[in-house]
Structure 1
Amino acid sequence: MSTQLTLIETSAVEADRIAQENKLIDEALHILDRRLFTCGPNLTSPDAVASYLKLHLAQQEHEVFGVIFLDARHRALAFEILFHGSIDGASVYPRQVVKRSLAHNAAAAIVVHNHPSGCTEPSLADRALTARLKEALDLIEVRLLDHFIVGEGRPLSLAEHGWL
């Protein structure tokens, strides 16, 4: 009889341990889902992107260049300022944009820079850079959706003007 009691006690202890492990596994899966599948705002319209970028770049006193990395559903994975410049320019290296796009496993990207002068009119250099970035990102199958210039008023979208 004592053997049966020990077996029952062992089964109860084992069942309790399994229940605790299952609870721990469920919690770990919840954490994994949150880390892997929780993204930032869904940036599907130029107005949504313009507002997002204005908040991030309007106060910069020198020129900066950043990228919003997006998943396949155009949800923000990350926003990074990759390059810092002076009051009237910043050096941008497509290689670094490609490298960070791969690091984020991005499906698409929106690039942005600010003009501390307030003028959002793109220079010829801005338009040439956009073309170079588009070519570089195309090689790794990351779509360049837009290039915004943040200054006074509403940020300018190069895509909306047909310059992408």
Structure 2
Amino acid sequence: MNHRKLSAGETAGTYRITAPVTEAELLSIAKAFSRRRLAKGRKITQPALAFEYLQILLQDYEYEVFSAVFLDSQHRVISFEELFRGTIDSASVYPREVVKQALANNAAAVIFVHNHPSGDPKPSDSDRRITQRLQEALRLIEVRVIDHIVVGNDGCSSFADLGYL
């Protein structure tokens, strides 16, 4: 992030752009802020805010990326990790690897997130099936699946909001 083009605003949490910026620089700034909001120790109290950060981070990929936000028992972020990369319309997700990462992070809960390069955030049948398999595998090690968010260009779909979890 180019800090030389930003300065703190008069109100906490606001910034002033001090020099012309390109669209790419604005996106870079937005991604840096989103990563910071998903940094270790941040508590996710409002899932809708997490959706915004996740959409900023994942919407521009030209291939599917399946990621997870691992959380502690207080729903504080332990880590945000990209777990699998795929093609323009699918990604292979392996429950065994997800379980290994959840254990390695000592997670109590997880939020899954993946993008749809087509731009449509509507969950597919295969999205629902893999989420169910992941939920079953993680239940055995007492890790709760809080949500699975599908990111598209025009927004996000939440499995929890849709009643799929």
Shorter-chain TM range is 0.7 to 0.9
More helix by share: 1
Structure 2, gaps ≥5 residues long = 1-38
1:52-91 matches, within 5 Å, as: 52-91=53-92
Please give the alpha-carbon distance, in whole angstroms, between the structure 2 residues aligned to 1:50 and 1:39: 17
Q: Aligned residue for 1:5?
A: none
Alpha-carbon distance between aligned partners in 2 of 1:44 and 1:133, rounded to the nearest angstrom: 23
Aligned-partner Cα distance in 2 for 1:75–1:87: 32
- What amino acid is aligned across from residue 48 of structure 1 in structure 2? L
Which ranges in structure 1 are unaligned for 5 or more consecutive residues? 1-37
RMSD, aligned α-carbons? 1.2
Higher strand content, 1 or 2? 2
Residue by residue over 1:65-98, the C-alpha shift from the partner in whole angstroms, topping out at 9 and shown as x without a partner, is 0000001111111011110000000000011110
Structure of greater Rg: 1
Question: Amino acid of the residue matched to residue 89 of structure 1?
Answer: S
User: 2:72 & 2:145 partners in 1: Cα distance?
Assistant: 12
Tell me, yes or no, if the aligned pair for 2:120 and 2:154 is still in contact at 8 Å: no
Moved over 6 A (4+): none
Identity, in percent, stands at: 54
Q: How far 1:57 moved relative to its partner?
A: 0.7
Q: Calculate the TM-score normalised by the size of structure 1.
A: 0.74
In structure 1, the residue matched to 2:163 is: 162
Task: Provide the secondary structure at the position in 2 that maps to 1:159.
Answer: helix
Q: TM-score, normalised by structure 2?
A: 0.74
> Deviation string for 1:78-123 (max 9, x for gaps)?
0111100000000000111100000000010000110000001111
